[in-house]
Every structure is written in structure tokens, then in C-alpha cells.
Amino acid sequence: MGSAQRSVAVVTGAGSGIGRATALALAARGLDVCCAGRRLEPLQETAGQLCGGRSLVVAADVSTADGVRAIVGAVGGAPVAAVVHAAAIEGIVSLADTTRSVFDQLVAVNLAGPFFLTQALRPLLADGSGIVFVSSISALHGRPRHAAYAATKAALLGLTTSLAAELAPRVRVNCVSPGATDTPMMAEAITAYLDGMDAEEIQRTGTAEMARVLLGRVGDPAELAAAIVHLALDASYSTGSVVTVDGGYSARLPGRGTPSSRRPGRCARRCGANPACWPWPAHSGHMPNSSTVCPTSVKPASAATRSAHCSTARPSTSTLFPQLRQVRWW
């Protein structure tokens, strides 16, 4: 890890998705990066991709006291310049079906883990350091079967403002609320969310969701990482802020139609005007052919049209329900 005088960034959930992208971005800025997560192999893959700073891999469950101690112990006495809480679990479950154990696990990983890791790292935080919590637009926009998950993510907003007040002026504390981002966790969430819906309901849901995304596509983890690194290292006059990074989802009211900028002829990967051109997350196992041209119609696409626009497959990291292959949702 180097001498204790080298600055360290701690990133949880560094084995994939937003956490991995953030670890890579912080290392590119010259920081040593402590990559923490539950599974060793993905963390080693992340460490192997780091350029710039050096890495330390810590297989630890941040939801447990032992996991928190392991991360702090790995950091040693090095000054911590940045802490990014990207570890999280999804929970697509109705109010009626939410058990105490499901709720407690969501709280343990999504809220208690970030809280107690921040508490444990506090003596090591350098002057001017930045803490970034990764929340979700689910904390700001309600949807069915998200109550427990959204509650844990909303709690991070309060944690951000309260810790910003408590740790100022020496430490800055901010939060990002991502929208749909191309990660394995999102692919699993979509699979769970669509379970039980018929084709018509899936189509209706997908149309409503994509109509609100001003940029007409899902985000790349590197785009979230750019915002996170800015808050952690560069935004020297920002603390207590919640930054929404959702492609404009939060800016558009439901049912306002399609932005005029989404015109026919744009690359299928970027266009949200036609369901045949909706971009799939790479991890969902289906991506549109980037060379195809958008149809001029904005009516729901036929199965034949969807097939033509989905000629390129990519490996899947989750077992998808058949409905996901019938309609492009996100």
C-alpha cells in the first residue's frame, strides 16, 4: 500500500458497477485505493485495472462490525482523502411481502454499513477530505415494491446533511443519487421488477419510464464515477449537497411526451423515442445494434422490428425473465 503518508481513497462495492468505476477514476488521480467488497475475485479484477495509484483489496462485508474493522485495519494509519460508499443491495418487494429479515438486511448494508464505516474512519480523515454516499433516485421518486429499499436510500440524504454539519469545516460530505445505470445490480432489479407483469404492462411501464429520461439512455458507471470523484476531490465549496445524476429523469414531469431533440435518424443506442431503440444495460444480456437507424415512427415496435434492432447480444450476468426479451425496458 505504500508509506502511511500516501493518501488513500476507500471505496466500498468496488467489485463492480459504480464502485469499480469510481475506484478506477480515483486511482487515475494518483490516490492509493482500498477496494472493499464481499467477494474477493471481482475486487482483484478491479485492482488489476487500476492505473495511477496502488491498490489494496479487502474482502469484507460492510454490514458487519468485523467487516468495518477489516477495512479500517487495511487502511492502517494512512490519511484518508476520500470515502465512497457504493456498496448496496436491491430490494424489490411489496409492503405486504417485506419480512423483518429482508428489511433488516437492507438497512444493514445500505445504511448501517456506510454509517459505521464513516464513524470508524473518522480519525483517519484528512483535512479537506470528501465523503460521498451513493443514494438513488428511488429516494426521491416513489414506485411500487420499493418501500424498504427507497427508505434506506432516503436515509442517506439525511445522513449526508447531518454529517456535513457535524464534520465541517474539515471534512466535506456529499451524496449522489443515480438514475438508471448500466450495472449488474440494475439488471437484477429490472428482472425482479418485471416479474409477474404481462407484455402490455411491461410495455406501458417501459414507455412511461423512458419518456422521462431527457438524454434517452441509461448512464454508464464511468459517468457516475466522474460526478462522485468531483464531489470527493474537487468540489471544495460543496458540502451537504445531493447531486442527481439521472439523465434528466427528475427534471421531466410524467406524461409530458418526448423531447423534440429525440429526432429520427439518431443512433439506436442513444434514442429513446421509439421502444425499438431503447438502450439495454450491457449486463442485461441484450444490446441494440449500434449501426441501426431509428425508425421514424414513435409507435410501439413490433416483435419483428425489435428483433431487427437487437441483433447484437452480450453476455448476461443474471437470469432474465422472458418478458425482458419481449420489450425493451430501460
Per-residue DSSP letter, 246: S
Cβ within 8 Å of residue 150, ≥6 positions away:
136, 138, 139, 142, 143
CA 47 to chain centre: 19
Q: Output the 3-class SS for 291-321.
A: CCECCCCCCCCCHHHHHHCCCECCCCCCCCC
Burial class (CB in 10 A: 0-12, 13-18, 19+), 208: exposed
What's 173's DSSP letter?
A: E
- Of 327, 326, 330, 237, residue with least CA distance to 280: 330
Place of cell 437507424: 293
In whole angstroms, give the CA distance from residue 276 to residue 286.
Answer: 12
Contact of 292 with 301, CB cutoff 8 Å: no
Per-residue CA distances from 205 to 63, 101, 176, 298 (Å): 33, 29, 25, 16
Q: Identify the CA nearest to 22 among candidates 180, 131, 154, 121.
A: 131
Biggest alpha carbon–alpha carbon distance for the chain: 61
Question: Active-site residue 149, yes or no?
Answer: yes
* Catalytic residue selected from 149, 193, 237, 249: 149
C-alpha span between 124 and 77 (Å, rounded): 7
Which residues are known catalytic residues?
A: 149
